[in-house]
Amino acid sequence: MTIEEHSEPLISPEHALAEQVEHMEPLAIGDQRLERKIGWVQGAMVNMSYIIGAGIFVGPALTLQLVGSGGMNLIIWTIGAFVAFSGTFTFMELGTMLPRSGGELGYLEYCYRRPKYLLAYLFTMWSLMNRSSGVASQGIVFGGYMNYAIFGSKYKSNQAERYWALLSATLLCLVNIFSTRASMNMMSLLTIVKLSVLSLIAMIGILIIIKVIPSDVDASLNLSFYATTTSVGPYASALYYVMNSYSGWHNLNFILDEVKDPIRSLPKSSAAAIVTTATLYILTNMAYLAALPLDVMKNSEFIVAAAFFTRSLGENFASTILPLCIGLSAFGCGAAINFSAGRVIMEVSRQGLLPYGHIFGKVNTQLKTPVNAYVLQYVLSILFIFGPPPGAVYQFVVAFAAYPVYVCINKYTLSIIILRKREPNNNRPIVAPLVCVYTFLFFTLYALVFVFIPVDNKYYPYWLPYITAILSMVACTGFWYYQIVIRNTPAKSYNESIRNQGQAAIEQEIFGGYASVPTEEETP
């Protein structure tokens, strides 16, 4: 059965495209446009720079503590890879159907038009928190590894880590303000460092497993299911940490206005990024388990990779070079988050979803960057660096930021199903397989419910970050009513003032030659 057989009759592709573009936000015009400089390879780097951060160096120890056995730890990370792949496919469909910067913002606004801008507004508030907390959490881990490299493995200082994070956020803000080209080159270079470190870990792990490198660790026991956790609750928390490590597969969707030929480039960039990182993640987890006793790995916390290299290559490499590489990895992830965060702030400001949108939505005509948006992003990052309780900054920030993520993910994944029924004639260059859509939808429901199963936490009540996130979203609903319903700021926004010109640019510049209606036979 084709899409059109269970809905209204087909209309001409040209008419369908015109209606589709009518409900999209316009492209900026004149000196407020950002140039299309990003090719698909660099686009893959943008995604991988976000995906590969502190998570793969921190997460395996945290998830092993929760699930108990090495075999189950590998399964959890493999499940994460499949879910991330499913998420990538959903974003390919939405991103090629609605190829504008802003990512989820545009998808939620396009699908859920009543109440006016409600979900888009809540996404805006979540994005401000999530991306700022992301820069903060990656900065904290960056600081932890810098402390390890400079002062040794026994040195622990939450305050010092926060100051490192402050330095990280400051440098990222300045680079993004003064040069887009420098930002892109920095992300690409740091991504190469990350891929090199993970490849080295994976290679050593393989050599240990095939006994080329001697090891006193019983790899078969470590890779077994001995001592697997039998209660349900820890698995939800474990998946949170895993998916936090895979998150970022959709980073390019937030900056599509700067991508060359976005409809062709987005699928190639996204697929290359998720396949590469998922493969390296699973091999890295195997390497940890092959080289480290389970107790050492469980207790290594933020230095699991350092413990790995200490046992495999010696103390000197593990205590100096590796921590610097991992610290740079976290810094690079923060760089990718910060780069797209400024662009998102600019986009939501232009739609009138932020107060003082005429300020934060403006591109500096001399520097050709959204300077004011990055200043706002910087201030919010500082609040997250110094705001969470000491002793569990990383865990609290990840959990707090993740919960609203899954609320939004649930809604825009559901939007694929809604839009296929409501608007079957839309231009869809990529059609995600339904198995991927439903897998991702099921996972979001699971993630929203099962975090409330009790889990021991010595720093704060297990439910605190999730309840805090929910209350934050409820509070944002009040702000939405005042700004959107009472003040009606979208009607006075930049996008409204250039709507006709900007929508014509979308149809001519982006969709030229792509007006086609996919059928089931064209579905991958």
Tell me the C-alpha distance between 425 and 515, whole Å: 10
pLDDT band at 393 (very low <50, low <70, confident <90, very high): low
Class of domain 23-493: mainly alpha
φ and ψ at residue 220, rounded to 5 degrees: -65, -35
State the pLDDT at residue 386. Answer: 86
Does 152 score more than 80 pLDDT?
no
E-assigned strand segments in 478-520? none
Choice among 137-151, 210-224, 446-460 with the minimum mean pLDDT = 446-460
Query: pLDDT class for 318, splitting at 50, 70, 90?
Result: low
- Predicted pLDDT at 513: 54
Task: Look at residue 498 and give its three-state secondary structure.
Answer: coil
Task: Answer with the residue of higher pLDDT: 452 or 135.
Answer: 135
User: Using an 8 Å Cβ cutoff, are 52 and 195 in contact?
Assistant: yes
Q: What is the mean pLDDT of residues 235-259?
A: 87
> What are the boundaries of each domain within the chain?
23-493
pLDDT, position 304:
78
What is the distance between the alpha carbons of residues 98 and 429, in angstroms, rounded to a whole number? 10
Specify burial of residue 159 (Cβ count, 10 A radius: 0-12, 13-18, 19+): exposed
User: What pLDDT does 517 receive?
Assistant: 41
What is the per-residue pLDDT across 345-382, written as a single tens digit (0 to 9) for each?
999 999 999 989 999 999 999 999 999 999 999 999 99
* Residue of 214 and 101 predicted with greater confidence: 101
SS3 of residue 369 by DSSP: strand
CA distance 239 to 121: 27
Do 23 and 208 touch, CB atoms closer than 8 A?
no
| 8 A C-beta contact, residue 32 and residue 501 | no
Q: Residue 276 pLDDT more than 60?
A: yes
pLDDT digits (tens, 9 = 90+) for 284-313: 999 999 988 888 888 775 567 777 877 777
- E-only strand ranges, 278-429: none
Give the tokens for residue 174: 């300045």
Q: What is the pTM of this model?
A: 0.86
